[in-house]
Amino acid sequence: MSSESTLRIVWIYPDLLSTYGDRGNMLILTRRAAMRGIPAEAYEIRSDQPMPSSADIYLIGGGEDGPQALAAQRLIADGGLHRAVNQGAAVLAICAGYQLFGHSFFAKGSKCPGLGLLDLHSDRGETRAVGELRGDIDPRLGLPPLTGFENHGGRTHLGPGVSPLARVTAGIGNDTQTEGAWHGKILGTYSHGPALARNPAIADLLLRWAIGADSLSPVDDTWPDRLRSERLAAAGA
Amino acid sequence: MTDGKLPLRAKVATSVSKTAAALSRAAGRGDGSVIGGWIGLKIDPDLLAHLAGGRAIALISGTNGKTTTTRLATAALEVMGRVATNSFGANMPTGHTSALAKAGSTPFAVLEVDEHYLARVIDATEPRVVAMLNLSRDQLDRAKEVSMMAQMWRDALIGHPDVRVVANADDPMVVWAAQGSGHVTWFSAGQRWHDDSWVCPQSGDPIERAGGDWWCTGCPLRRPNPQWRVEDEGVVDPRGDWHLVKLQLPGTVNLGNAATALAVAAEFGVRPIEALPRLATVASVAGRYAQVDRDGRNVRLLLAKNPASWLEAFDMAERAPTLLSINARDPDGLDTSWLYDVDFAPLRDRPVLITGDRAYDLAVRLEVNAVPFRHVKSFEEAIQAVPPGRLEVIANYTAFQDIRAELDRVL
């Protein structure tokens, strides 16, 4: 966490990348911080505002081709997010936001330059991936299985500079084998929208990275646990 | 038009269509309005146009409120004579064809139209009036698709310069679409949902809002002055006269729907003072707002199918114990992410119960929203869990149908 005692969370470009419930991740992170007595403030930075480089956690969500390409252009031109990542900020990048963290992605039929902050590139799949997604997360992260709902037309190819976030056990993810990617404190996933609702352990990982803690005090996760069990079972059906 | 003026092919198609609808009803497969229309259109592709000929028609379209507004406008227009309508929400051309065939010859028709089909139905029916209520995200639809829909509506009107439009001044997407017509009457019914109209459909610049007003920061598009508006418990007409509106339907949302219905009826020469007693007779619309007494509980059913309509349901619901039921079957959309597009905070001041296939998604959402709740396994358990008195039920599409079916079984 940076010098001030308040944890700062930035939601990147909700005006462009907020297809469906992406706000949930910001709400969940803020709440889980507050439950541990960590004061947190969330900032929604629109695409016509400069991107601050001093926040602790950055969230970027899903969107259509046009807004995705526009968001990548503006983030490259702005440079604030690159500075933040170089200073060690934690990032959760989802769906279109995940793709644009790579070297390139396809939008509206053409190849667009990405931010190059994750060693991966994305192109179009033959079919759209829609439905429940489940995977076993990289054991080095020490997290329980990933559960999500995916809805994307992309396929993502990982370079040697990143690790898969998970091995797919149901659904498509990057390419039916791996799902998402991570490197340093950046996590990317195709679990779209409010992914942290089903994966509170990922929310806590982001918080731990941001404050430099090995663990956080436990909280009552009765309802998220029930939701997880139900959705993990549904994906297996 | 009378049956005697229909071309032979249309006569045959109408007759077969009615027979198929009757068979479908007899077989217990719904009210027959879709299958009957489908067969009729196969025999005569122009059947809808033939059936529409000679009638003065109003079309009602928008993401939310179209079934209720159609019902209210029909009640208002009945002042003038018989009105054909698709009152069961079968709102695509097959449903329109069936509704007109079934009604026989009527001087008027009020048709609810799915927003995707509006252009086609305008072409086929040459309506006198088109009412445009609102446009917002629905199921997997996206903000971008909302602006595409507005573009389709706008283009449809440009091709029909004589059609009169009754449109919502509070929705920037609708205002821009309606400006495709030269004859627009504006109504103001308020708009709670703004998340699909922060970007101007005309220029792409941000839209700003203050009070009830809105304007584009980069082009001349702004809120027009409405001729009809909701004020207190009534509606102000274009002459500035205020009319008390007594409805059995709850909420300011339905006051807005009533204002729209009055504006539509006025285009046919119906005065508010004539229409208002008729609006007061409408008690429920396709089961929505229906009240059922059971075990001393007065159960009221509200349908909420997308983020905008959830906000409206919170406005309609009384401060009473409230059951929320969420499914995610095909007609609902399989994805529950939208729960985070709805702010449930208005429910913090009342006991909340949750149920449905996806109650756990809702539980996590409510926890994040700091809304206390209790999970129940069934509608029956919910009834027993609340004290005698009002129970408000807000459910999405298939959850709503499930609860209606359960109530019907008991009655």
How far apart are the C-alpha atoms of B192 and B383, rounded to whole Å?
Answer: 30
Question: In 3D, which of B184, B125, B114, B115 has the Cα closest to residue B153?
Answer: B115
Q: Of A20, A31, A130, which has the smallest distance from its Cβ to B368's Cβ?
A: A31
Sketch the domain layout of chain B as residue ranges. Answer: 3-279, 291-410
Question: Would you call B144 and A226 a contact, using CB atoms and an 8 Å cutoff?
Answer: no
Q: Does A15 touch chain B (CB under 8 A)?
A: yes
Mean pLDDT of A136-157: 96
Supply the angle between the helices B272-279 and B66-77 in degrees, to the nearest 10.
120
How far apart are the C-alpha atoms of B322 and B328, rounded to whole Å?
Answer: 20
Q: State residue B16's pLDDT score.
A: 67
CATH class of B3-279: alpha beta
Closest-CA residue in chain A for B145?
Answer: A64
Q: Which two tokens stand for residue B33?
A: 């309005």
Q: State residue B3's pLDDT score.
A: 53
Q: Which residue has the higher pLDDT, A113 or B7?
A: A113
Quote ipTM for the complex. Answer: 0.96
If pLDDT is split at 50, 70 and 90, which confidence band does A18 have?
Answer: confident
Chain B residues within an 8 Å CB radius of A220: none
Q: State residue B25's pLDDT score.
A: 57
Sign, CA dihedral B361-B362-B365-B371, equals negative
Cβ-contact A172, A161 below 8 angstroms:
no
If pLDDT is split at 50, 70 and 90, which confidence band does A108 have?
Answer: confident
Chunk chain B into consecutive blocks of 10 residues (it has 411) and report each block's average pLDDT, rounded to whole numbers. Answer: 63 68 55 68 80 95 93 96 87 91 94 94 96 82 68 94 96 95 92 76 86 93 96 95 94 93 97 96 86 92 88 91 95 90 95 98 98 96 96 94 81 44
What is the rounded average pLDDT for all residues in chain A? 94
Q: State residue A4's pLDDT score.
A: 55
- Tell me how close the Cα of A29 comes to any Cα of chain B, in angstroms: 10
If pLDDT is split at 50, 70 and 90, which confidence band does A20 have?
Answer: confident
Q: Which of B136, B208, B337 to mutate to test the interface with A (most CBs of A within 10 A)?
A: B337
Domains, in order of start, for chain A? 7-236 (3.40.50.880)
Q: Is the pLDDT of residue A95 over 80?
A: yes
Q: State residue B84's pLDDT score.
A: 96
Q: State residue A1's pLDDT score.
A: 46
- pTM for the model stands at 0.81
How far apart are the C-alpha atoms of B25 and B33, rounded to whole Å?
Answer: 9
Question: Would you call B199 and A194 a contact, using CB atoms and an 8 Å cutoff?
Answer: no
Chain B residues within an 8 Å CB radius of A66: 144
- Tell me how close the Cα of B337 comes to any Cα of chain A, in angstroms: 5
Cα dihedral value A225, A226, A231, A232, nearest 10: 60
- Tell me how close the Cα of A23 comes to any Cα of chain B, in angstroms: 6
How far apart are the C-alpha atoms of B295 and B304, rounded to whole Å?
Answer: 25
Q: State residue B373's pLDDT score.
A: 98
A94 has which bridge partners? A189
Residues A172-228: pLDDT tens digits? 999 999 999 999 999 999 999 999 999 999 999 999 999 999 999 999 999 999 999
Q: Which residues of A are annotated as a binding site for substrate?
A: 128
Q: Which of B197, B329, B335, B342 to mutate to test the interface with A (most CBs of A within 10 A)?
A: B335
Supply the angle between the helices A222-236 and B359-368 in degrees, to the nearest 10.
150
- B-contacting residues in A 98-117 (Cβ below 8 Å): none
Q: State residue B141's pLDDT score.
A: 45
Q: How far is CA A159 from CA A121, A165, A190, B120, in A?
A: 8, 13, 17, 49
Chain B residues within an 8 Å CB radius of A226: 360, 363
Cα dihedral value A93, A95, A100, A102, nearest 10: 80
Q: Which residues of A are annotated as a binding site?
A: 128
User: Based on the number of CB atoms within 10 Å of its own CB, is B162 exposed (0-12), middle (13-18) or buried (19 or more)?
Assistant: exposed
How far apart are the C-alpha atoms of A100 and A60, rounded to whole Å?
Answer: 10
- Tell me how close the Cα of A59 comes to any Cα of chain B, in angstroms: 15
Q: Which residue has the tokens 């209720």?
A: B68
Q: Which residue has the tokens 């997407």?
A: B173
CA A61 from centre of chain: 7
Cβ-contact B279, B370 below 8 angstroms:
no
Residues B344, B350, B355: CA angle, nearest 5 degrees: 65
Chain B residues within an 8 Å CB radius of A227: 360-361, 363-364
Question: Would you call A64 and B140 a contact, using CB atoms and an 8 Å cutoff?
Answer: no
Chain B residues within an 8 Å CB radius of A22: 340
Those residues with Cβ within 8 angstroms of residue B261's Cβ, 6 or more apart along the chain or in another chain: B69, B72, B73, B75, B76, B275, B279
B291-410 — its CATH code?
A: 3.90.190.20
Point out the residues of A that are catalytic. Answer: 95, 192
Q: State residue B19's pLDDT score.
A: 64
Q: Which residue has the tokens 């609340």?
A: B386
Closest-CA residue in chain B for A24?
Answer: B340
Rounded to 5 degrees, φ, ψ at A63 are: -175, 175
Sign, CA dihedral B225-B231-B235-B237, equals negative
Q: Does A128 touch chain B (CB under 8 A)?
A: no
